[in-house]
């Protein structure tokens, strides 16, 4: 593979993120807003232009964090990260709910990846995760990181790309994350405590 580099999201990198996500907003008009919706908001009616506008404003205001992966200047991957409390839907998800009370504000969550077709299974997600861990420790003094990856399908099969947007258990386990809390048939809450 050509040299892959990662960079933290900044307002100036919005055009790269928009180009990567394309007309479909990464997946079905999400624009990385699925986990950010508050209770009572109608996600279906927000898909597309509304989600794009809201996410672009968050990026412009430096209120959304993440990182982009590039190959030869072309954006090929994305990882979202922010304080867990910024991803309102996480606390409403039965198996992803945190029981840490006030400590939840200190947890940084990594709920989404997006890797461009043609670049999947080529180390992009691993590079983004590694960059995110180092960046959160250095820049944000993060102490607890949390992720919500997919369980491995039966028989060692691979997840379809559309369902692996939260990453996989193996990806996070390799980076030192350990399982915490309940698990369901699809996702497992995992954590990494940084020294």
- Which pLDDT tens digit goes with each residue over 1-42? 578 999 999 999 999 999 999 988 998 899 999 999 988 888
Question: What pLDDT shows up at residue 26?
Answer: 92
- Which pLDDT tens digit goes with each residue over 178-192? 998 766 667 888 999
Question: What pLDDT shows up at residue 43?
Answer: 86
Question: What pLDDT shows up at residue 97?
Answer: 73
Cα angle value 22/150/189 (rounded, 5°): 110
Question: What pLDDT shows up at residue 188?
Answer: 86
For the chain, percent of residues with pLDDT exceeding 90: 63
Question: What pLDDT shows up at residue 15?
Answer: 98
Mean pLDDT of the chain: 89
Could you give the 3-state DSSP secondary structure of residue 73? Answer: coil
pLDDT along the chain (195 residues), means of 10: 90 98 91 92 91 96 97 96 92 75 74 92 94 97 93 65 79 94 76 89
Q: What is the CATH number of the domain that holds 87?
A: 3.40.630.30
pTM: 0.90
Domain that holds residue 47: 4-193
Domain count, the chain: 1
Contacts of residue 147, defined as CB under 8 A and 6 or more positions apart, other chains included, come to 109, 110, 111, 166, 167, 172, 177, 189, 190, 191, 192
The two three-digit tokens of residue 13, written as one number: 């990198």
Question: What pLDDT shows up at residue 14?
Answer: 98
Q: Are 83 and 107 in contact (CB under 8 A)?
A: yes
């Amino acid at each position: 593979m050509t040299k892959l580099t990662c960079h933290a999201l900044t307002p100036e990198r919005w055009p790269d993120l928009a180009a990567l996500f394309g007309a479909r907003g990464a997946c079905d008009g999400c624009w990385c807003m699925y986990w950010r919706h508050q209770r009572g908001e109608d996600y279906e009616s927000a898909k597309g232009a509304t989600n794009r506008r809201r996410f672009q404003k968050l990026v412009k205001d430096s209120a959304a964090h993440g990182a982009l992966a590039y190959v030869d200047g072309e954006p090929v991957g994305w990882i979202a990260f922010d304080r867990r409390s910024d991803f309102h839907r996480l606390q409403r998800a039965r198996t992803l709910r945190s029981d840490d009370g006030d400590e939840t504000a200190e947890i940084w969550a990594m709920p989404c990846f997006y890797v461009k077709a043609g670049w999947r299974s080529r180390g992009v997600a691993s590079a983004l995760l590694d960059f995110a861990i180092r960046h959160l420790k250095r820049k944000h003094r993060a102490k607890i990181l949390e992720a919500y990856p997919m369980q491995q399908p039966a028989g060692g099969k691979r997840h379809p790309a559309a369902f692996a947007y939260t990453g996989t258990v193996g990806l996070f386990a390799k980076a030192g994350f350990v399982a915490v809390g309940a698990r369901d048939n699809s996702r497992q809450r995992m954590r990494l405590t940084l020294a």
